Chain A
Amino acid sequence: MQLDDFDKAFENRVRLQVMSVLVANESYDFVDLKELLGVTDGNLASHMKALEKEAYVEVQKTFKGRKPLTTYLATDKGRTAFEKHLGALEKLILQQKN
């Protein structure tokens, strides 16, 4: 089995989902992501930290009125890693079909 392209950072489903949202959209902010995925604040925050650490996402902190607004973007590194991971998933599925 080909596991080289299998990215450990995407083993968790929430991280995989976050990455798919950020690849499909220019940017997404924390609250919208939380609602879309149906996860808790703490849960999402810890996963975002992990993705940040891998430099797969970029964080922009601004203010919307008085409320802080945290916006995430996928980095080029993150996009490449995500595509590679998807490719690996596809290959695995194909292999198991045969």
Chain B
Amino acid sequence: MDKTTKLHEDLASIRNIMERSNKFLSLSGLSGILAGTFALSGSLAAYFLVYYPHSPFGFRVRYVNEREVVFQLLLLAALVLIASLTSVLFLTIRKARKKGHTVWNKSSRRFLLNLLVPLLTGGILVLALISRGYLMIVAPACLIFYGLALINGSHFTYSDVRYLGYLQIALGLLCAFLPGFGLIFWALGFGVLHIVYGSLMLYKYE
């Protein structure tokens, strides 16, 4: 082998291995788009449940504090969550396999741990709030904790994830000042932002 090529290959391999040794780079962009689509569909269903036939900016037909409505909304949210997680998992595993990388390794474990600590904290807190009837804090709290989780996890994956986190937090805080528009912020954060982010990732890295 030519000596210069070997030098260049040495350097390239160092850069690649260093990055992969502490960052999980198999996250699929397509799954972001799918998760966003599920979130938008979920929001639409929630709109029909709560507002229809009024506009989402107007009066509610049903009050969210009715037990039955809360239960239906929770079920809907759980469905969206399961569909999103399944597609993220499936497409991420597929992407890793295609690149010949493992999925369950040191960097993916680190990424997950860092993501899950704020995420589960927020999730459990939100469930506690729901059970005690503080419903108006649910939408902003979900967005804010999700944003914090993304920023925390971003150290161990594509750094672009951090900007998604900042935007989710900004939306969450804004939402906290504008009670009654939770569903719209939710659709923007979990729906639109995910689709935009997923498309950018798809374009940039795949």
Chain A interface (Cβ < 8 Å from any Cβ of B) = 13, 16-17, 20-21, 23-25, 28-29, 32, 35-38, 86, 89, 92-93, 96
8 more A-B contacts (CB under 8 A) besides A17-B17, A35-B105, A89-B7? A17-B13, A23-B18, A25-B22, A36-B17, A89-B10, A93-B4, A93-B8, A96-B7
Taking chain B's interface residues, is the majority helix, strand, or loop, or is none over half, making it mixed?
Answer: helix
For A20, give its contact among B7, B18, B100, B106 (CB under 8 Å): B18
Smallest distance from the beta carbon of B101 to chain A beta carbons, Å?
9
Chain B interface (Cβ < 8 Å from any Cβ of A) = 4, 7-11, 13-14, 17-18, 20-22, 100, 102, 105-106
For A21, give its contact among B7, B10, B11, B21 (CB under 8 Å): B21
| A24 & B22 in contact (Cβ 8 Å cutoff) | yes
For B17, give its contact among A21, A93, A96 (CB under 8 Å): A21
Residues of A within 8 A of B14 (CB): 16-17, 20, 86
What would be 6 A-B contacts, judged by CB atoms less than 8 Å apart? A24-B18, A25-B21, A28-B106, A36-B105, A89-B11, A96-B7
| B105 & A21 in contact (Cβ 8 Å cutoff) | no
From B9, B10, B11, B105, residue with most partner A Cβ within 10 Å? B10
Residues of A within 8 A of B4 (CB): 93, 96
Residues of B within 8 A of A29 (CB): 106
**Which residue of chain A has the shortest Cβ distance to B19 in the bound complex?**
A24
Residues of B within 8 A of A38 (CB): 100
| A28 & B21 in contact (Cβ 8 Å cutoff) | yes
For B13, give its contact among A13, A32, A86, A93 (CB under 8 Å): A13
Smallest distance from the beta carbon of B138 to chain A beta carbons, Å?
38
Report the separation of the CA atoms of residues A20 and B13 in the bound assembly, to the nearest whole angstrom: 9
Report the separation of the CA atoms of residues A29 and B8 in the bound assembly, to the nearest whole angstrom: 28
